[in-house]
Amino acid sequence: MSTLPTDSPQMLEQREAAIVISAIPRIRRRRRRYPHRWFALLAIMLICFGYLMPFLWMISTSLKTVDKTTSFPPQLIPHPAVPMNYWSAISSPKADFPLYTRNTLLIAALSVLGTTLSSAVVAYGFAKIRFKGRGFLFVLMLSTMMIPFPVMMLPLFIVFRFIGDHTPLQMLGTFKPLWLPAWFGSAFSIFLLRQFFLTIPDDLSEAARIDGCTEWGIFWRIMLPLSRPALAVVALFSFMWAWNNFLGPLLYLQRPQQYTLALGLQAFQSAQGGTDWNLLMAASMLVMLPVILLFFVAQKTFIQGIATTGLK
């Protein structure tokens, strides 16, 4: 009942005192905290300026002419400003960014669809069906999250090669290794969805079961529609992951026509050997922008999703 472990006399006294204090008008307590607050505000403004700096420097450089990027001392505010840089980056002969965008979107779409669907199915099994061995399998699944990707990359590569050699499904040099595993659920998404399913009471599904609804029907027609917010979190995260993934495409994609944006941006940088920083920054901005925009559109989903990962 009580939040304090034991009710010793002193503790009772303290608790009473706390109640008395909290009855004192708010203003007095607030005023006492003022110095902290102003100090915090000043500190956070300075820090935020530091955190913003790379963004500002990126925007500034992306609008400069080439010779202004190398002039000393560097300009902070570009003059003349050249928004055309963005178009030059998009249409650069050294990199086909529209094609990379299409590749990335294709991989991302297939990953999002696969992760969301399959993880929801598996999470339903973990959350709503009681069977022997469930606890063990759940712990097993969580522990796979601890395996670093560099440990898996080589044997995975060999498995994909093996599948390509022994079945008609060509794997290496195609997009498949990048999206196919998503269709078998991701441990993180399964965990997230399971936590959400657990919060949905069983009454509804019981009622449906009495009406003769199958387990799949309960999942598909009752659970999924109720879980839209959680599904949105999973979809969003898997999109971000696919969009940002660098090592995966580096391993599995061989021809420049297949590059994703992450890989293409790096190729663009090494192709021009450290010159044309204005175009490179413009290209980086373009790769970054969709993610930032997505964040502002779905801010709540993002924050809630991240916050739930750390709890429970």
Partner 1 sequence: MQSELRQFGKGMAFLSPWLIGFIVFTLIPIGLSFYFSLCKFDMLQPPRYIAAHNYTDLLHDKTFWQATSNTFYYTAMALPAGLLVSLGLAMLLNVEIPGRAIWRTIIFMPSLVPIVASAMVWMWMLNPRLGLFNLLLGRLNDILPAKLNFPLPPWLGDPQWAMPTLALMSLWGVGNAVVIYLAGLQDVPVELYEAAELDGAGLLGRMRHVTIPMLSPVIFFNLIMAIIGALQIFDIPYIMTNGGPVHKTYFLSMYLYDNAFVYLQIGYASAMAWIMLVIVLVLTGVAFWTSSRWVHYQGK
Site for partner 1 in 46-65 (CB under 8 A): 47-48, 51-55, 57-58, 61
Q: Which of 68, 63, 95, 193 is nearest to 138 (CA)?
A: 193
Length of the chain: 312
303/233 Cα distance (integer angstroms): 9
219 binds partner 1 per the rule CB under 8 A? yes
Q: How far is the CB of 286 from partner 1 (least distance, A)?
A: 9
Q: Which segment (77-85, 166-174, 196-204, 292-300) binds partner 1 by CB under 8 A?
A: 292-300
Residue 58 and residue 285 in contact, taking contact as beta carbons nearer than 8 Å = yes
87 or 149: whose CB is closer to partner 1? 149
34 binds partner 1 per the rule CB under 8 A? no
Q: Which residues, numbered 154-183, are part of the site for partner 1 (CB under 8 A)?
A: 154-159, 161, 181, 183
214 or 257: whose CB is closer to partner 1? 214
9 or 54: whose CB is closer to partner 1? 54
Output b/e per residue, 83-112; b: 16+ Cβ within 10 A: eebbeebbebeebbbeebbebbbebbebbb
89/87 Cα distance (integer angstroms): 5
Q: Which of 8, 12, 74, 254 forms a contact with partner 1 (CB under 8 A)?
A: 74
Tokens of 7: 């009710």
297 binds partner 1 per the rule CB under 8 A? no
261/248 Cα distance (integer angstroms): 12
Tokens of 39: 């100090």
Q: Which segment (39-47, 95-103, 204-212, 225-233) binds partner 1 by CB under 8 A?
A: 39-47
Tokens of 30: 């607030």
Query: By CB under 8 A, how many residues form the interface with partner 1?
Result: 99
Kindly report whether the peptide bond that precedes residue 249 is cis, defined as omega within 30 degrees of 0: no
Q: Which segment (43-51, 95-103, 205-213, 226-234) binds partner 1 by CB under 8 A?
A: 43-51
Q: Which of 243, 253, 259, 276 forms a contact with partner 1 (CB under 8 A)?
A: 243
Q: How far is the CB of 109 from partner 1 (least distance, A)?
A: 17
Output b/e per residue, 218-243; b: 16+ Cβ within 10 A: bbeebbbeebeebbbbbbbbbbbbbb
Q: Which residues, numbered 189-208, are part of the site for partner 1 (CB under 8 A)?
A: 190
Q: Which of 197, 262, 276, 301 forms a contact with partner 1 (CB under 8 A)?
A: 262
Q: Which residues, numbered 77-136, are part of the site for partner 1 (CB under 8 A)?
A: 118, 121-122, 124-126, 129-134
174 or 244: whose CB is closer to partner 1? 244
111 or 284: whose CB is closer to partner 1? 284
Output b/e per residue, 270-281; b: 16+ Cβ within 10 A: eeeeeebbbbbb
Kindly report whether the peptide bond that precedes residue 201 is cis, defined as omega within 30 degrees of 0: no
Q: Which segment (88-96, 137-145, 201-209, 228-236) binds partner 1 by CB under 8 A?
A: 137-145
